[in-house]
Amino acid sequence: MTSLANAPLLEVSHLRVEFPTRRGTLVAVDDVSFDIAPGEVLGVVGESGAGKSLTGAAIIGLLEPPGRIAGGEIRLEGERIDNLPYEKMRRIRGARIGAIFQDPLTSLNPLYTVGRQLVETIQTHLPLAASAARARALELLKEVGIPAAEARFEHYPHQFSGGMRQRVVIALALCANPRLIVADEPTTALDVSIQAQIIALLKKLCREHRTAVMLVTHDMGVIAETADRVAVMYAGRLAEIGPVRDVVKQAAHPYTRGLMGSIPSIGERSHRLTQIEGSMPRLTEIPPGCAFNPRCPHAGQRCTRERPDLMPAGRTRAACWLYDPQGVGAPLRAETVDA
């Protein structure tokens, strides 16, 4: 039995997200399971449309209608949260779960100063008087690296650069000392030097506050720098999950190997980058069996008929019949992929 000290902070079990339409029900996230420990960063990566952001939205209770959780469970510190009434979930969101989104301007109200927004958020979730809330807000601005925090307290969002706005959004997410942060593409709109600062900040918060982070991104460079483990999604399903170094260096699933092989290496005068033929299927056209089988150079008959679950594949777990003892063939040779 898992001890409380080692218990996962977030547990997602067999999550299924559906979108009912006039032509039938579209399954956008299909039987996804993972957990995140306190102080751990789980990177979730994949192409656009893989279901990464929808998984994050389901966890924080912000699925856009008609999207709905149609199956599975989400537990935060052992408490099931996927079936809570809207108001109860709204209280958890912000207090126990923080959110960081790609565009900080969508998270900040342009009509209010950042100080006012921080104070209001703090007082919504913590029983603090105005003076104590202001002191907490200033402390947060300093913690996320806003220079001259006292002066910037009275500034509006448009008076901050993109990187500084994202720091304010991180401060907002931290207002009530949440146990979990869902960060959806938090560095995409920023230049490389600012990306590095935001990554360093997220790692510092994990280390000092033991906050669990679900980092959704399509950028493998960000994953390699930030995450402890990585989950690779394809067509709404998990293709592979494991320690970030093992997934990057010795990917098991053919799709993951294609992703890793498409990353250029500094100083390597190599031939061509790996290319994955074809494109991810639309939700209306997901094939039977393994969803990747039309694009997979190793696909066999079983891949077109039966859907594989995650199974041990070297140091990671991959949803691929190549790693089943009665599978379609021998496991892929563990070639090292240069990062």
In terms of domains, do 36 and 175 share one? yes
Same domain, 82 and 169: yes
Residues whose CB is less than 8 angstroms from the CB of residue 111 and which lie 6 or more positions away in sequence, other chains included: 156
Domain boundary among 166, 199, 227: 227
DSSP at 324: S
What CATH number did the domain enclosing 125 receive? 3.40.50.300
183 and 280, same domain (yes or no) = no
Are residues 218 and 294 part of one domain? no
pLDDT tens figures, 269-309: 656 667 788 899 999 999 999 999 999 999 999 999 999 99
d(CA 285, CA 159): 46
For residue 258 the two structure tokens come to: 């294609």
Cross-strand bridge partners of residue 214: 42, 182
Judge if 39 and 181 occupy the same domain.
yes
Residue 336 within any structural domain of the chain: no
Q: Per the domain annotation, does 335 fall within a domain?
A: no
Amino acid 57 reads A
pTM (predicted TM-score): 0.90
> Is residue 76 assigned to a domain?
yes
The confidence score (pLDDT) of residue 3 equals 44
Domain that includes residue 56, residue range: 4-227
| Token output for 134 | 């202001």
pLDDT tens for each residue of 76-129: 999 999 999 999 999 999 899 999 988 887 889 999 999 999 999 999 999 999
Question: Are residues 201 and 134 both part of a single domain?
Answer: yes
Provide the 10 A C-beta neighbour count for residue 106. Answer: 8
Q: Which residues pair with 71 in a beta bridge?
A: 16
Alpha helices in 149-191 (DSSP H): 149-152, 162-173
**Are residues 115 and 50 both part of a single domain?**
yes
DSSP state of 315: T
Same structural domain, 50 and 198: yes
Q: Do 245 and 216 sit in the same domain of this protein?
A: no
Sheet strands (E) in the chain: 10-21, 24-36, 41-45, 68-76, 79-80, 97-100, 180-184, 212-216, 229-234, 237-243, 311-313, 316-318
List of residues 6+ apart from 287 with CB closer than 8 A: 281, 293, 294, 304
pLDDT string in tens for the chain (339-residue length): 344 556 899 999 999 999 999 989 999 999 999 999 999 999 999 988 999 999 999 999 999 999 999 999 999 999 999 999 999 999 999 899 999 988 887 889 999 999 999 999 999 999 999 999 999 999 999 989 899 999 999 999 999 998 899 999 999 999 999 999 999 998 887 788 888 888 888 888 788 888 999 999 988 888 888 999 999 999 999 999 999 999 999 999 999 998 887 666 655 565 666 778 889 999 999 999 999 999 999 999 999 999 999 999 999 999 999 998 775 554 554 444 443
**How many CB atoms lie under 10 A from the CB of residue 229?**
22
Q: Does residue 295 share a domain with residue 196?
A: no
Does any domain span residue 312?
A: yes
Judge if 57 and 162 occupy the same domain. yes
What is the distance between the alpha carbons of residues 163 and 197, in angstroms, rounded to a whole number?
A: 9
In a domain, 337, yes or no: no
* 165 part of a folded domain: yes
Question: Would residue 67 count as lying in a domain?
Answer: yes
Asked, for residue 328, whether it belongs to a domain, the answer is no
Do 148 and 183 lie in one domain? The reply is yes
Domains in the chain, number: 2
Quote the DSSP letter at residue 288.
S
